[in-house]
Amino acid sequence: MAKLVLTDAFVSIGGADLSAFVRSVSFTYNADVQDSTTMGSDTRTRLAGLRDWNMTVELTQDFAASGVDATLFPLVGTSVAVEVRPTSAARSSTNPGYTGNAILSSYPPIDGSIGDLLTASIELQGDGTLTRNTA
């Protein structure tokens, strides 16, 4: 089994490759679990419900024309295409790309204290099906 240290994640939001600005990325895929236990049962039963996914990304801030601010500011509240991969290499069976549309729910253009590295932490909430692509 291969081991991987996360040093080169690929993150694309709204078609813009923001990988060079990424400090951390957290990606979660889950399903609701519904209790389906009925009277007379002595053990709980469950059914898988709706699936959901979200991403949290911390980026170093950049106000240049093609930087973080120019890319993200107009996307707040809109559904955009996103992709995340473990490395920036091409998609493969060992470097899957997770793709779908997500809504950028918030974006803090300026958030910090004196002497801090200026960063922007964003959350993207899944807006439909997530796919796992290996090619």
Question: How do residues 28-44 score in pLDDT, each as one tens digit?
Answer: 999 999 999 999 999 99
SS3 28: strand
Regarding beta strands 79-85 and 97-106, do their DSSP bridges make them parallel or antiparallel, or are they unpaired?
A: antiparallel
Among the CATH numbers 2.40.160, 2.40.50, 3.40.50, 2.40.30, which is that of 10-31+45-133?
2.40.30
End-to-end CA distance of the chain: 21
Distance CA 38, CA 106 (A): 41
Give the closest residue to 102 by CA, choosing from 129, 135, 71: 129
pLDDT digits (tens, 9 = 90+) for 101-126: 999 999 999 998 999 999 999 999 99
Model pTM?
0.90
